[in-house]
Amino acid sequence: MASIHLQPGRPFYFAAYTLPNGQRAFRSTKTRNKRQAEEVARAWAKAARKGRKGVLTPDSARTIIAEGVADAFCVATGDRMPQNTVREWAATWLKMKAIETEPSTHERYQGVVDRFIKFLGAKADRDLVTIQPEVITKLRDEQVEKLSRASANLAVKVLRGLFATALKRGLVTSNPALAVEVLKQRGESNRRPFTVAEVKRLLAAADMEWRGLILFGLYTGQRLGDLAALTWQAIKMGASTQDSEIAFQTQKTGRRMVLPLVAPLFDYVSELPASDSPDAPLFPRAASAASTATLSNQFRQLLVSVGMAEKRPHRSTGKGRNTTRERAEISFHCLRHTATTFLKAAGVSNSMAMDIIGHDSEAISRAYTHFSAEDVRRSVEKLPDVTKE
């Protein structure tokens, strides 16, 4: 049985209760409010009783503490303390993200959250504050075994965002996912840039549309999905390359990119039949593809046709459709690496290369690095012209 009392010269109520080992404990409740102190003492006593029965677990202890704090908050303020179960908050957070993110990004978030809720089972209906780092660590490790390291790391990053928003709303006092490290990717260093000769071989074998995608990939350093989504509205054609540019927003980061339409891109766009509609796709077949994965497979077929990749055998891996693809040594994404490599080889600074490609970095923040359009143009023009002999 718990009781509370005031001690001479002490401002706060003290709680007295019996520990699981039978000893009597006296602890300050850190409050002058009698009813609030009673709620705190009741929570401590409840945990001690479960301990004596041998049924006190870390999860049950956290639940008791959360309930006790919520009751004390209600007594002190007259208001219900903001609370959400994991399931409730996950649903709320996903609704917010549906507005803020692209459909493909939201779909990835949804998949992570669904797996998280399934992993928790009945614990998903407990208060959000009961989730501790070790729970997310176990989820990460399970994802490695069932799916891949990339999927496991994605789960950690998505949950960091979920709990970060909860922290801002006052639903939790800390972000448990921040204490969980992402795993190093095996073989992530296998990706390499193309050589100039390899790019020329690809251009020679490619049809008109893939030729354009390769050129835009090299001279803008952007992702295949973003290039496939380009419309004529993104292209500003002037009388020459000096007053021509491309402007668009990236799907993955939402970053606004404005890049010069250097000579190889200017020449390519000039050869295309102009569209009357600004919303018409610059690359119609790519825009109508079922997914970016479909385009990636088409590009791999191009690599195979010029002897730069081996044809994949059609055999089952036994991991199912949700497994992340193994990274190839060269892929369309390597044009992004190629652009970065060529820029740095031409003497362009690291921060300028990052600004052009759209890389994010903890070391160099875009908020503190600003470049003029002319600076960017001079840097991109240093890239080798792969359309010339």
The pLDDT score that the predictor gives to residue 369 is 42
Strands 3-6 and 24-28: unpaired
The pLDDT score that the predictor gives to residue 365 is 36
The pLDDT score that the predictor gives to residue 162 is 95
Q: Helices marked H in 169-255 — which ranges? A: 196-205, 208-220, 224-228
The pLDDT score that the predictor gives to residue 272 is 93
The pLDDT score that the predictor gives to residue 362 is 37
Name the stretches of the chain with pLDDT < 70: 1, 55-83, 185-191, 313-329, 359-372
Alpha-carbon span 193 to 336, nearest angstrom: 8
Q: In this structure, are residues 229 and 346 in contact, taking their beta carbons and an 8 Å threshold?
A: no
Alpha-carbon span 95 to 91, nearest angstrom: 6
Alpha-carbon span 224 to 241, nearest angstrom: 23
Dihedral in degrees, nearest 10, Cα atoms 286, 292, 294, 296: 100
Alpha-carbon span 259 to 339, nearest angstrom: 13
In order of their start, the domains of the chain are 3-77 (no CATH), 86-186 (1.10.150.130), 191-312+328-380 (1.10.443.10)
Amino acid found at 217 = G
Alpha-carbon span 136 to 174, nearest angstrom: 14
Q: What count of residues does the chain have?
A: 389
The pLDDT score that the predictor gives to residue 355 is 77
